Amino acid sequence: MLIIIEFLYFFHFSTQIAHTLNPLNEHIIHYETLDYDPRPYVNALHRSRRSANLYDDNNNHPDANPLYTIHLHSHGRNLSLRLKRDIDSVFHRDLIIEDGDGQPLSVNLDHIVSGHVHNQPNSMAYGSIRDGIFIGKIHSTVPDEDTFFVERANKYFQPNPVDIYLLDGSTLKSKYNYYDIVNAISLSKTTSTSTTASIIPSLPFHSVIYSSKHVNDPFHDRRSPIDGSCGANEKVREWMDSIANSAVTDDDDDGDGYEMNHNSSTTTAMINNSTDDLNRPILRSKRASNNNINGNNRNHDYSNYRRLFEAQGRISYNRPPSPHQTPSTPYLPTKRACSLYIQTDTFLWDHVKKHETEKSDFKVREEIASLVAQHIKAVNHIYETSVFKNIMGLKFIVQRLRINDSSACEPRKREFNQFCSPNIDVSNFLNLNSQFNHNDFCLAYIFTYRDFSGGTLGLAWVASTSGASGGICEKYKTYTENIGGRQVQTKRSLNTGIITFVNYNSRVPPKVSELTLAHEIGHNFRFTT
């Protein structure tokens, strides 16, 4: 089924000054606005949900996953998006979503979509459609390459209450804003026509669109020219290096620590039952000896990484390197999907809920799932199409998602939950994430909304070719640390990282947070330094 949604644009500036930049905030120097009727998609989504359990003889149903075509004109180009529901490209088919106590959550993911721009080769579009409004990212290739981001306007503007005009001519003053009642109005068709309403919003748009070229870094001068937005300054690097090189030898204990409710048997079964080798998460194996791997030369070639990751069971290859093969020829790993454990903390929950017009926990979880999906999709777009240290085709799949809500930091839990402290620096925050057993996953990340000092946006443990611990699939084991002149042993997982969505009291745009995540994951592979 083809659903066509027309996008109508309302510009803040007249045609006489159409080329004048229209800044959105300190990060985005120009934007345009979107307004269209979201009801056709809302209705189609409800039809697809009703059709989900109705299949034909070929186990298909025409309405179960319809194709949505979205026509728009923006920034001087025509874009016709072709989108379909797409969950499996970022979430594992046996994905577990849980709350802060490890209890399973039911979260709708059918609003997550991906596709392309019609008649634009190598284009891409992905994101989510919630309440009939598309939010996401568009990679356009015609007339030239450009990337556009679409966000909800209520992240930047506070809409006012609107009047609802009933068919009988009367006016109902609504305490709700435009975004709250879009879905309710679309569903009013199930009632008598006398209750059907039209809405006239005081804010004449629900989304903003801007080009990647118009995203600015206003805090560039405040950061270290060496460290940038990464939290690994000289002091932090020294601490991380000391931990990474202090692993207790012959420690074969895989996890007599707190394991955050990870179910190893379930995870193992899920991996082994996968029939798609290309999408299978990288399997953990006992770390092989690193004595024969020389990584002392900082300018070592890609073969050091290939041998190390292959020896450790992190990556396997279709074939051994040929002596006649040029260094520019990339290898395609057969097991190239890295399984992720993503945890979102209470600080991010509070921020998302603040900007959700419908304050229900269900809607907040949907928005957080959309946020995670868009970031993993963006990272996959980078790693699947790029060559790092002569390795290409890497992919990341979320295997477990933990969404911590405000209850995780209520008074009776706060003193036992160190993540609730408002004053944690970036290295200690990473350390907290690392103190849990993440053996079931290739990487474990926390998404937060904490304003770390120095403009820090992320931090992760760095992989090494010299035998030091850290990076993808690193084992949960014991490390020795000097605290107050005393040697203390602590178990850690160094296959971890963190990113934040706020910088100098300003929410960072998706372009920045997506690149931050890709950069920190690069540290886990030692693709970035």
- Cβ–Cβ < 8 Å for 95, 107: no
Highest mean pLDDT (candidates 30-44, 248-262, 347-361): 347-361
Domain ranges of the chain: 2-157+203-214, 235-288+336-344+371-393+406-525
Q: For 148-154, what is the mean pLDDT?
A: 94
* Residue entry with tokens 């004109």: 73
Lowest mean per-residue pLDDT among 120-124, 137-141, 301-305: 301-305
Q: For 386-399, what is the mean pLDDT?
A: 85
Give the span between the Cα atoms of 274 and 289, in whole angstroms.
Answer: 29
Q: Residue 226: pLDDT above 90?
A: no
pLDDT in the model for residue 318: 40
User: Can you read off the two tokens belonging to residue 453?
Assistant: 């000092």
Distances (CA, A) of 495 to 209, 253, 373: 36, 17, 20
Lowest mean per-residue pLDDT among 34-48, 445-459, 472-486: 34-48
Spell out the residues 6+ positions from residue 48 whose beta carbon is closer than 8 angstroms to its own.
63, 64, 65, 66, 85, 110
Element (H, E) at 71: strand 67-74
User: Can you read off the two tokens belonging to residue 380?
Assistant: 């996959």
Lowest mean per-residue pLDDT among 88-92, 142-146, 428-432, 510-514: 142-146
DSSP bridge partners of 388: 391
Q: Residue 344: pLDDT above 80?
A: yes
Q: What is the mean pLDDT of the chain?
A: 75
Beta-sheet strand order (sheet of 443-448) = 91-98, 395-403, 337-344, 443-448, 496-500, 458-460
Q: How confident is the model at residue 527 (pLDDT cuts 50, 70, 90)?
A: confident
Measure CA of the first residue to CA of the last residue in the chain; give whole Å: 48
Q: How confident is the model at residue 156 (pLDDT cuts 50, 70, 90)?
A: very high
520 is known as an active-site residue: yes
Nearest to 313 by CA among 291, 295, 343, 286: 286
- By CB neighbour count within 10 A (0-12 exposed, 13-18 middle, 19+ buried), where does 107 fall? middle
Q: What is the DSSP letter of 157?
A: -
**Segment 497-518, tens digit of pLDDT:** 999 999 999 999 999 999 999 9
Lowest mean per-residue pLDDT among 65-69, 167-171, 416-420, 424-428: 167-171
Residue 451, CB half-sphere, CA atoms under 13 Å: how many?
7
Q: How confident is the model at residue 99 (pLDDT cuts 50, 70, 90)?
A: very high
What residue type is 474 in one-letter code? E
The total number of residues shown for the chain amounts to: 529
Percent of the chain clearing pLDDT 90 (strictly above): 47
Q: What is the DSSP letter of 35?
A: B
Q: Per the residue annotation, which of 98, 356, 366, 520 is the catalytic one?
A: 520
Buried b / exposed e along 394-422 (16+ C-beta atoms within 10 A): bbbbbbbbbbbbeebbeeeeeeebebbee
pTM value is: 0.76
Q: Residue 528: pLDDT above 70?
A: no
Query: Is 133 or 211 the better-scoring residue by pLDDT?
Result: 211
Q: How confident is the model at residue 69 (pLDDT cuts 50, 70, 90)?
A: confident
Nearest to 388 by CA among 290, 294, 315, 466: 315
Give the span between the Cα atoms of 230 and 352, in whole angstroms.
Answer: 24
**Segment 171-202, tens digit of pLDDT:** 544 444 444 444 444 344 334 333 334 444 45
pLDDT in the model for residue 274: 36
Q: What is the DSSP letter of 454?
A: G
Class of 235-288+336-344+371-393+406-525 per CATH?
alpha beta
Q: How confident is the model at residue 490 (pLDDT cuts 50, 70, 90)?
A: very high
Q: How confident is the model at residue 413 (pLDDT cuts 50, 70, 90)?
A: confident
Q: Residue 324: pLDDT above 60?
A: no
- Cβ–Cβ < 8 Å for 389, 527: yes
Give the span between the Cα atoms of 470 and 11, in whole angstroms.
Answer: 50
3-state secondary structure 181-233: HHHHHHHHHHCCHHHCEEEECCCCCCEEEEEHHHECCCCHHHCCCCCCCECCC
